[in-house]
Chains A and B, each alone.
Chain A
């Protein structure tokens, strides 16, 4: 039986660095993706994810399993992301709204997505354009709404965990999520309307 995250962290606290290695392997993906969607840049996201792991390691001696490990980790990650935006350590996202190149920096580490710098970008797969559109809509959300959506939709965390990570009440979180999804529904109306299984009467109801 695999050890729980809390147990792994308690082992790290007791001086077992191999348990930290297990946590690193388990959460590097979710963390990098969360931070990428928060800051919109792979290089910055990886840098911040390293920072989160470092903070987790530094806090090991004070670690008390009062909350789920992921709640604690994503609270650190959210704070790191918000501070990074405030420091202006990464490029402005708004600039990229009218430009298709997603990753302008040449030093960006290779990710699963290929940089949009090849010729004939307009003929590229529609799927990629859709993904870029969706990503920009999420990036344009206010910070706290964006973090709430990422933790709810992509990390599939429970409401009490997300509320704890964002340091707000559960009812405030539910309002936050509603407003975020409502904004996205409107921003992405063309995509939402074209999804398979979407009702045909969408247009008539929306006009009312």
Chain B
């Protein structure tokens, strides 16, 4: 340990909160370095000097002032404060909710049940095909619609003819 490193450890060494390994290192350095030894002694002396500053007491009116300010807090509003940390966030959440409801109500009637089929990718198709049981009618209906897609594309057939 050198004089620079002791800066990190001297205070903890002096207040007795350094771990034993660091303590030993500081001990060794202090034995070898008169300047740091002097600083350590003066730090200790400084701490008792700092104790000379008397503590002050809060004025008698302090508690009453705190109670008054606490009593002035809006209690009913704060009952729900944990739900919505800030009015802005509350407004944003409400707006998102309203927008979501509106979008679903506007889009739902225009959308025929099959409309989703053209958007389905091959992976979605594969997923549906891999379903072990297609008991649900809606799913079955969707499956039928999807199964029409490869017929439209009709790509694999030419390959199959050229191969032999």
Q: Which of B43-51, B96-104, B131-139 contacts A (4 or more CB under 8 A)?
A: B43-51
* B 37-70 to A, binary, CB cutoff 8 A, 1 in contact else 0: 0110111011111101111111101110111011
Smallest Cβ-Cβ distance to A199: which chain B residue: B41
Smallest Cβ-Cβ distance to A177: which chain B residue: B11
| B62, A134: Cβ atoms closer than 8 Å | no
Q: How far is the CA of A36 from the CA of B85 in the complex (A)?
A: 32
| A159, B17: Cβ atoms closer than 8 Å | yes
Candidates B9, B61, B81; contact of A109 at CB < 8 Å:
B61
Smallest Cβ-Cβ distance to B70: which chain A residue: A57
The reply to whether the CB of A16 lies closer than 8 angstroms to some CB of chain B is: no
Smallest Cβ-Cβ distance to A178: which chain B residue: B7
Smallest Cβ-Cβ distance to B43: which chain A residue: A181
Candidates A58, A113, A191; contact of B56 at CB < 8 Å:
A113
Q: Which of A24-32, A65-73, A80-88, A115-123 contacts B (4 or more CB under 8 A)?
A: A24-32
Smallest Cβ-Cβ distance to B55: which chain A residue: A33
Q: A62-B82, A174-B12, A184-B46 are in contact. Are A127 and B41 (CB under 8 A)?
A: no
The reply to whether the CB of B10 lies closer than 8 angstroms to some CB of chain A is: yes
Q: A62-B85, A202-B38 are in contact. Are A24 and B63 (CB under 8 A)?
A: yes
B45 CB to nearest chain A CB (Å):
4
| B56, A178: Cβ atoms closer than 8 Å | no
| A188, B54: Cβ atoms closer than 8 Å | no
Q: How far is the CA of A195 from the CA of B47 in the complex (A)?
A: 10
| B81, A32: Cβ atoms closer than 8 Å | no
Candidates B41, B42, B52, B67; contact of A130 at CB < 8 Å:
B52
Q: How far is the CA of A19 from the CA of B47 in the complex (A)?
A: 35
Q: How far is the CA of A95 from the CA of B85 in the complex (A)?
A: 42
Candidates B43, B63, B70, B82; contact of A185 at CB < 8 Å:
B43
Interface residues on B, range: 35 or more
| A57, B73: Cβ atoms closer than 8 Å | yes
Q: For chain A, residues 30 to 60, give those with C-beta under 8 angstroms from any C-beta of chain B.
A: 32-33, 36-37, 42, 45-46, 49-50, 53-54, 57-58
How many residues on A have C-beta within 8 angstroms of the other chain's C-beta atoms?
62
| B66, A24: Cβ atoms closer than 8 Å | yes
Given the complex, which residues of A lie within 8 Å of B61, measured CB to CB?
Answer: 109
Q: A32-B56, A178-B7 are in contact. Are A153 and B47 (CB under 8 A)?
A: yes
Candidates A62, A110, A112, A185; contact of B42 at CB < 8 Å:
A185
Q: A25-B63, A134-B52, A198-B42 are in contact. Are A159 and B58 (CB under 8 A)?
A: no
9 contacting pairs across A/B (C-beta < 8 A) = A17-B70, A20-B70, A24-B67, A111-B59, A131-B52, A134-B52, A152-B11, A191-B49, A192-B46
Question: Which residues of A come within 8 Å of B, CB atoms?
Answer: 17, 20-21, 24-25, 28-29, 32-33, 36-37, 42, 45-46, 49-50, 53-54, 57-58, 61-62, 109-113, 127, 130-131, 134-135, 138, 149, 152-154, 158-159, 171, 174-175, 177-179, 181-182, 184-185, 188, 191-193, 195, 197-199, 201-202, 205-206, 208
Besides A50-B65, A177-B11, A185-B39, 17 other A-B contacts (C-beta < 8 A): A24-B66, A29-B55, A46-B59, A54-B69, A61-B78, A134-B50, A134-B53, A138-B53, A152-B15, A154-B50, A174-B8, A174-B11, A178-B8, A192-B45, A192-B46, A197-B45, A205-B38
